Amino acid sequence: MTVVRATPATWHPDDIDHAVRLLAATPTHEGRDPDLLRQWALTATEFGASLPATPCHARIVQLQGGLDEGLLARYTSRPAPTLTLFTDSVQLAERVIAENGWRDWYPPGSVRAAALAHEAVHAQLHHGPHRARLKRALGHVVLRFGRRRVYGHVAGTEEIAAHAYAQVTCGLGRSPLVLTTALSEHLNLPPLTHSDRREN
């Protein structure tokens, strides 16, 4: 399987670090070999960057309340494919970009464009044929019968592909994950952990 590489020619090592961290925090990857995660992160990034640009056919809805839900955008496939853009989150993102002096990486209006592109990938992977290609590219063999192989799903890689696609199609200097981390820190959101326990 060859993956056609689009721009940028080399990924910022820090961008890949962000992607590796996202994979490591995804359930089912607890304690997986960091080198394997890095390989998957790279493969998913290249795969996302190689996806053909497709217009998004989903209905677009703009809503407030993204900060409360901790979301920038959301794609839902039912009842009709809908892409929700949280305007308060987008506004905050633009402000954080300006404050951090990241305009070179994320031009004005690029957050909105990136969010649309990101969710378009989810829609595309959900309905289209590309998902099987991603699985083959990742090459995570879960079962072998003689020469036949069954490739497994690698949780979290679609998210990385979506960010990479957005980065390439919107011409961003750095991965949207860098922006996500900055927003998360700005909002002081608790990180994702898998051991929240509560008893009454």
Partner 1 sequence: MGVIILLVMAAGVAAMLTRKIPTAFALVLLAVAIAVLAGAPATGKNSVLDTVVQEGAPMLAATMIAILLGSWLGRLLDETGIAGTLVRKIVEFGGDRPVVVALGVLAVSTLVGTVTGSAPAAMLAGIVGIPAMIAVGIPKTTAAGTILMGIAAGMPFELPIWQFFSTALELPVETVREFMLKLFPFALTAAVAFVLVETRRRGVEHTWSLRTAPPKSSQRKRLGDAPWYALLTPVIPLVLALGFELAIIPSLLAGILYAVLTTTRPGQISKRLLRTFYSGVEVAAPPIALFIAIGMLLAAVKLPGAVDALAPLVKGVSPQNAVLFVIVFTVLVPLCLYRGPLNVFGLGAGIAGVLIAAGIYPAAAVLGLATSYNQVFGVSDPTSTQTVWAAQYAGVTPQQVMVRTLPYVWFVALGGICVTAATSL
- In the list 15, 26, 43, 58, the residue contacting partner 1 (rule: CB under 8 A) is 26
- Report d(CA 63, CA 89) in Å as an integer: 10
Q: How far is the CB of 27 from partner 1 (least distance, A)?
A: 4
Q: Could you tell which of Zn ion, partner 1, none binds residue 75, using a CB distance below 5 to 8 A set by kind?
A: partner 1
| Shortest spacing between CB 174 and partner 1, in angstroms | 14
DSSP letter, residue 190: P
Q: What residues make contact with Zn ion under the rule CB under 5 A?
A: 159, 162
Q: In the complex with partner 1, which residue's Cβ is closer, 147 or 194? A: 194
Span of 3-11, 48-56, 102-110, 148-156 interacting with partner 1 by CB under 8 A: 148-156
Contact call for residues 15 and 163 (beta carbons, < 8 A): no
Residue 15 CB, nearest approach to partner 1 (Å): 13
The distance of closest approach from Cβ of residue 9 to partner 1 in the complex, given in angstroms and rounded to an integer, is 25
Cα separation of 99 and 95, whole Å?
Answer: 6
User: Crossing angle, helix 110-127 and helix 130-138, to 10 degrees?
Assistant: 90
The Cα 46–Cα 138 span in angstroms is 11
**Residue 75 in contact with residue 57, Cβ under 8 Å?**
no
User: Quick check: 165 and 49 in contact, CB under 8 A?
Assistant: yes
SS3 174: coil
- Please report whether residue 165 would count as binding partner 1 according to CB under 8 A: no
Structure tokens at 175: 């991965």
Rule CB under 8 A: choose which of 87, 91, 153, 171 binds partner 1. 153
Residue selected from 8, 128, 152, 173 as contacting partner 1 according to rule CB under 8 A: 152
Cα–Cα distance for residue pair 92/67, rounded to 1 Å? 9
Q: List residues near partner 1 by CB under 8 A.
A: 18, 21-22, 24-28, 30-32, 66-67, 70-79, 89, 115, 118-119, 122, 126, 131-132, 135, 140, 142-143, 150, 152-156, 158-159, 162, 176-177, 180-181, 183-184, 187, 189-200
